[in-house]
Homo-oligomer: A and B are copies of this chain.
Amino acid sequence: MPYPQITIKDIAKALNVSVSTVSRALNNSPDLSEGTKRQISEYARLHNYKPNLVALSMKKQESNVIGVIVPQMIHHFFSSVLEGIMDVAEKEGFSVMLFRSLDNFEKERRSVQQLISSHVCGVLTSMAKETTHYEHFQELVDNHIPVIFFDRICVDIPSNRVVIDDYAGALAATEYLIKTGCKRIAFFCSPLNLEISKNRRGGYLDALSKHGMSVDKELIRICDNYDEAIPVATEMLQSDNRPDAFFAVNDETALGILHATKQLHFKIPEEVSICGFTDGFAAIASDPQLTTVGQSGLDVGRSAMELLVEKIRYKGDTPLLKNKIIKTKLIVRETTR
């Protein structure tokens, strides 16, 4: 039918009943004669009536739209999280409004404003790297919009959280490197204002001390992408006291290190071991295949959305803070002994 959407008003007029009758029929209200009810539903179906969600949201003062803010789209982990969020959102009947911060504070702030303006019923987000103050998130809380942080959480905002067990993942990876005989283990990480960086570094440091190894500050570098990793790793590998293992906060960085190591013709893993964090497709595509700490973005996304749905549905009844920790799994492939 080449016509714009019809409204309950159109149906009412056509069937010579009142709009309230139509509304009741469409909502399957009990006190209504079967006759009119059938007639109305029939007409609605025939003319392809769809409720106007904007009007509904206006009337009910609540929507079924949740907001999501991620740092970026081209990113294996965040894509996976998004996929997980969509899995649950779809099942539970929520729509997703998507924003992206590009790790920029101002963009993140504006996204939050937009979300408040759009009257979404909840927000899922992973903080931008730049963000160091949190008034915008606080505003969500003030407006009684439930927020769940995942991965890059914000500890200063009372909210629920879904995190990867970064500490345990880093600890396990570092211990594995130690147990396979590595003596000088370098660590490449993101800026330390992020909780995940702190936690992964914590795991790394504790593994060292647990095994009686000293910490060499020279071996800890702020470097978290492929392109930067190449020169940094190259320089380290050419030094007299070179590392014999690298542990990086993500796969891209690990693969940059791998590239540099191959270029310098070190034997992998005999002379140099490398371990990443994420387990994206590239970890399998690389040669040798990358040993890495697998983190399931899907599980993070699903858990976060499940927590949010619960918070939206049972408002107030649930305990204030209920967090979720997603386990990692060390996936040993070919870049470690």
Interface residues of A (CB under 8 A from B): 1-5, 48, 50-55, 57-58, 63, 65, 68, 72-76, 79-80, 82-83, 86, 90, 95-100, 107, 113-114, 116-119, 139, 142-144, 226, 252, 255, 262, 280-288, 297
Contact = CB atoms under 8 A, between A and B. Distances in A.
Nearest to A72: B83
15 contacts: A1-B142, A2-B142, A3-B142, A4-B144, A51-B117, A52-B117, A52-B119, A54-B119, A68-B98, A73-B83, A82-B98, A90-B107, A96-B99, A226-B284, A285-B285
Contacts of A58: 54-55, 58
Stoichiometry, copies per complex: 2
A63 B54 contact: yes
Contacts of A283: 285
Given A95-B118, A286-B286, A74 B79 contact: yes
Contacts of A100: 83, 86, 90
Contact of A79 (B48, B73, B113, B142): B73
Contacts of A288: 287
Contacts of A1: 142
A164 B281 CA distance: 23
B65 A74 contact: no
A322 to B, nearest CB: 22
Contacts of A73: 79-80, 82-83, 86
A90 B106 CA distance: 12
A82 B72 CA distance: 10
A292 to B, nearest CB: 12
A96 B95 contact: no
Contact of A95 (B97, B107, B284): B97
